[in-house]
Each structure stands twice: as C-alpha cells, then as structure tokens.
C-alpha cells in the first residue's frame, strides 16, 4: 500500500478530507520519528514495539572490490511484532 492509498482509506474511515488526513498522518509519523531520534522507544498496541539500538562497528566483505571493509557504528530501529499481530498473521496463513 502506498502512502496515498493509506491516506485515502483513512480519510474514508475517519470522514475527513485527504488534506486533513495527510496532516494528521504526517504529524503522527513526525512524533514517532522524533521519539526514536531522541533514543526513546514506543509501543503501538496490536502492532508491536519500536526501539532505537546502536549497531556497533564491524567488518564485512565487499564482493565487488573483493576485500574487507569497515562498517561504521550507527543507530538503527529495532522492531518487535506484538503477539496479537503474530497470531493474526499465523491464523490467516492456516486458513
């Protein structure tokens, strides 16, 4: 689903204009992004939890240059799905 499709679906469900829905969506995403950028995690019930983690510096093989290269330390987002979501997905697979 693209952002446009998500916004259209949300606008219909919430009975808002697409412009209002986009403003709401952007505000929501910006708030969550700001939390992660500040090193704080959050949980969306029924979906899962997101938390920032530091991935330490490590070495990796670059097949193009056929040599080892250093991957610098960086911050990444770690996602853990909720058990509710996992169960729903597994039930859908079994049907």
Task: Report domain extents, the chain.
Answer: 1-38, 40-95
**45, 61 contact by CB (below 8 A):** no
Alpha-carbon dihedral angle through residues 1, 14, 50, 37, given to the nearest 10 degrees: 100
Residue 24: name the closest of 36, 35, 39, 13 by CA.
13
Whole-angstrom distance, CA of residue 57 vs CA of residue 59: 7
Residue 95: is its pLDDT beyond 90?
no
Q: Report the sign of the C-alpha dihedral through residues 34, 36, 38, 40, in that order.
A: positive
CATH code for the structural domain at 40-95: 4.10.520.10
Structure tokens at 54: 């530091």
pLDDT digits (tens, 9 = 90+) for 26-76: 999 999 999 999 999 999 999 999 999 999 999 999 999 999 999 999 999
pLDDT value of position 26: 96
pLDDT value of position 92: 77
pLDDT value of position 83: 94
pLDDT value of position 46: 93
pLDDT digits (tens, 9 = 90+) for 74-89: 999 999 999 999 999 9
């Amino acid at each position: 689903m693209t952002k446009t499709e998500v916004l259209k679906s949300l606008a219909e469900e919430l009975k808002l204009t697409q412009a209002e829905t986009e403003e709401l969506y952007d505000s929501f995403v910006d708030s969550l992004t700001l939390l992660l950028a500040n090193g704080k995690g959050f949980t969306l019930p029924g979906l899962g939890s997101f938390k920032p983690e530091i991935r330490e510096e490590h070495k990796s093989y670059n097949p193009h240059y056929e040599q080892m290269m250093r991957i610098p330390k960086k911050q990444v987002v770690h996602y853990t799905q909720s058990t509710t979501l996992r169960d729903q997905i597994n039930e859908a697979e079994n049907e």
